[in-house]
Amino acid sequence: MTEAVLLVGGQGTRLRPLTINTPKPMLPVAGVPFTVHQITRARDAGVSRIVLATSYKAEVFRSFIDDADLGIEVVIATEDEPLGTGGAIRHALPHLQSGPDDPVLIFNGDVLSGLDIDGLVRHHRETGSDVTLYLTPVEDPRAYGLVPTDADGRVTAFLEKPQTPEEIVTDQINAGCYVFRRSVIDRIPAGRPVSVERETFPGLLSDGALVTGVVDRGYWLDLGTPLSFVQGSCDLVSGRAPSPAVASTGDALVLAGAQVAASAVVRGGSVIGRDAVVGPDAVVDGSVVFDGAEVAEGARVLGSIVGVGAVVGAGSSIRGAVIGDGAVIGRGNELLDGVRVWPGARLGDTSVRFSSDA
């Protein structure tokens, strides 16, 4: 039996305002909460029990898991105060049934990847590692944990979010999935915040523990920012990213009850949520439209997220923007790169005439 801990307690600050009411791993991606993609991938790799390490908005996970049947045992652990990534792993320990030398998988809760999970566990066993890390090369590693390895694949340092150019010693980053020997979890201090990246990993290296890395060059994405969230969703819909929770892939996913006008164009892996409406001549490209939202006649939504029940008025154009739940964008507005509209906010109509006003 292989057990896993899924770290889902972060506040998802970079995805505000979407994460004000919904924790990041519970945001819908390709029709289901993001966490379902991760849980079903782990299940298919042979994980039979998963501990959800929750903190922020734990009740949202609890009510979902109570009703869901994901074909795997899911246990919820909740920290009273956020304990950080290492503290959350330690807090999950009483919920684990593995023996001291058994491998326990740890997943960051916002990573979409094509990793061969079973292969990572095999590597961990074969090398007799204390901890095995999944690594991936990225173009700009500054937003991540840098993990250089030697010729034998042994991790030589761990540099979380490097600040100076001298610290950028590799393009290999911590891809957010580890195998821990269970007894290594026992040694993480309990009852206080611990960062696995800033404290546990560097500590293991200075204690001479065997920490190895497996570099995988397949699909990898951290869905922590609005741009990457949209990208991940589109990649799942179009089949570029693998998930057992996506039944069929294509140019768009239109969920039950949604109405898309015949003259509208929905493409680029976009999702149109349940009961959402896309009006005549509207274009939704590479975007996520949440349940009950409306993209009115002639509006253009590119690379953006439209929150639950939000409205993009006729002829408005939004690109690279996040519209919070229930917000209303009047007619003829233009919202570009990086704009975030808070839930329930209202933007009036502009005086620009919309073409069908004539």
Q: How far apart are CA 226 and CA 99, in angstroms?
A: 40
Give least dist CB 233 to ligand GDD, A: 17
Cα end-to-end distance, the chain, whole Å: 67
Question: Would you say 87 and 188 are in contact if contact means Cβ atoms under 8 Å apart?
Answer: yes
Applying CB under 5 A, among 224, 226, 332, 343 the residue interacting with Mg ion is 224
* Residue with the CB atom nearest Mg ion in the bound state: 224
Based on the shown chain and the rule CB under 6 A, indicate whether residue 305 belongs to the binding site for ligand GDD.
no
Largest CA distance in the chain: 75
Stretch that binds ligand GDD, among 104-112, 121-129, 254-262, 283-291 (CB under 6 A): 104-112
**Catalytic hit among 62, 161, 187, 353:** 161
Based on the shown chain and the rule CB under 6 A, indicate whether residue 108 belongs to the binding site for ligand GDD.
yes
**Other CB atoms within 10 Å distance of the CB of residue 352:** 12
Question: Would you say 180 and 131 are in contact if contact means Cβ atoms under 8 Å apart?
Answer: yes
Residue 233: which region, alpha, beta or left (left: phi > 0; alpha: psi -120 to 50)?
Answer: alpha
Applying CB under 5 A, among 79, 160, 222, 325 the residue interacting with Mg ion is 222
Q: How far apart are CA 36 and CA 42, in angstroms?
A: 10
# binding residues, Mg ion (CB under 5 A): 3
Stretch that binds ligand GDD, among 35-43, 106-114, 299-307, 316-324 (CB under 6 A): 106-114
Is 24 among the residues known to form the active site?
no
Give least dist CB 223 to ligand GDD, A: 9
Q: How far apart are CA 45 and CA 119, in angstroms?
A: 9
Applying CB under 6 A, among 3, 4, 31, 79 the residue interacting with ligand GDD is 79
Which residue, 144 or 229, is less far from ligand GDD as judged by CB? 144
Residue 338: exposure state from Cβ atoms within 10 A (0-12, 13-18, ≥19): exposed
Q: Which residues bind ligand GDD (CB under 6 A)?
A: 7-10, 53-55, 79, 82-85, 88, 108-111, 144-145, 160, 173-174, 176, 197, 222, 224
